[in-house]
């Protein structure tokens, strides 16, 4: 990406995640999405900036190899993106939960939304059955310090996950 497309990508994230009526002009939003598309940049898949690696090439039912540390226990003032990239074998399926903790010991599911439907927030597990890239948004305002992803009911899926703090 170039400095110009980096700036457009940042503006796309701001408009998508915050929904600020002053910033979220539908015409301008469509223009930015079109420009990024013409430059082969799909905001949910490509152009994802360097992020904290939660785990790489994991094939077992387990937590991600690494746990993200946000540094303090206060409510988060910025959203976080969690990206899970899967490769598959025969009859693939894997169930995922995005978990947070204040003490790195007791984890519970965090609320999140799919990057494609930011208005729908849940903390339920999600399932992947194909080779894909899945991006979830952990909205600001939740109290946690540590984040990890838990893989369960994994059959023939290789998982790589990372996390990006926005803002």
The CATH code of the domain that includes 129 is 2.60.120.1110
DSSP-derived 3-state class of residue 58: strand
- Find, among 44, 62, 51, 48, the residue nearest to 148 by Cα: 62
- As a whole number of Å, the CA-based R_g of the chain is 16
Given this model, what pLDDT does residue 86 score? 95
Query: 153 and 80 in one domain?
Result: yes
Query: 25 and 89 in one domain?
Result: no
Query: 133 and 57 in one domain?
Result: yes
Query: What range defines the domain where residue 14 resides?
Result: 3-38
Query: Which run of H or E residues covers position 50?
Result: none
Show pLDDT as tens, one digit a residue, over the chain (167 residues): 555 556 666 666 666 655 544 444 555 555 655 665 666 655 555 555 668 899 999 999 999 999 999 887 777 777 888 999 999 999 999 999 999 999 999 999 999 988 878 778 999 999 999 999 898 988 888 999 999 999 999 999 999 999 988 76
126, part of any domain: yes
- How many domains, the chain? 2
Given this model, what pLDDT does residue 151 score? 97
95, part of any domain: yes
Given this model, what pLDDT does residue 53 score? 92
Given this model, what pLDDT does residue 22 score? 42
Given this model, what pLDDT does residue 35 score? 60
Prediction pTM value: 0.73
Query: 31 and 60 in one domain?
Result: no
Query: What are the residues whose beta carbons fall under 8 Å from the beta carbon of 100, sequence distance 6 or more?
Result: 107, 108, 109, 110, 138, 142, 144, 145, 146, 147
Query: 84 and 157 in one domain?
Result: yes
159, part of any domain: yes
Query: 108 and 65 in one domain?
Result: yes
Query: 99 and 65 in one domain?
Result: yes
């Amino acid at each position: 990406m170039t400095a110009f497309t980096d700036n457009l990508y940042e503006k796309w994230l701001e408009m998508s995640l915050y929904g600020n009526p002053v910033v979220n002009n539908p015409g301008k939003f469509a223009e930015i999405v079109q420009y990024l598309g013409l430059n082969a940049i799909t905001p949910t898949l490509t152009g994802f900036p360097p992020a904290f690696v939660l785990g790489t090439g994991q094939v077992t039912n387990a937590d991600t190899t690494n746990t993200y540390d946000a540094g303090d226990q206060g409510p988060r003032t910025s959203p976080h993106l969690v990206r899970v990239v899967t490769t598959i074998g025969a009859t693939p399926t894997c169930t995922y939960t995005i978990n947070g903790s204040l003490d790195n010991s007791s984890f519970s599911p965090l609320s999140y939304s799919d990057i494609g439907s930011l208005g729908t927030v849940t903390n339920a597990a999600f399932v992947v059955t194909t080779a894909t890239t899945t991006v979830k948004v952990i909205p600001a305002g939740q109290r946690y310090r540590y984040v990890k992803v838990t893989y369960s009911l994994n059959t023939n899926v290789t998982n790589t996950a990372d996390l990006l703090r926005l803002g």
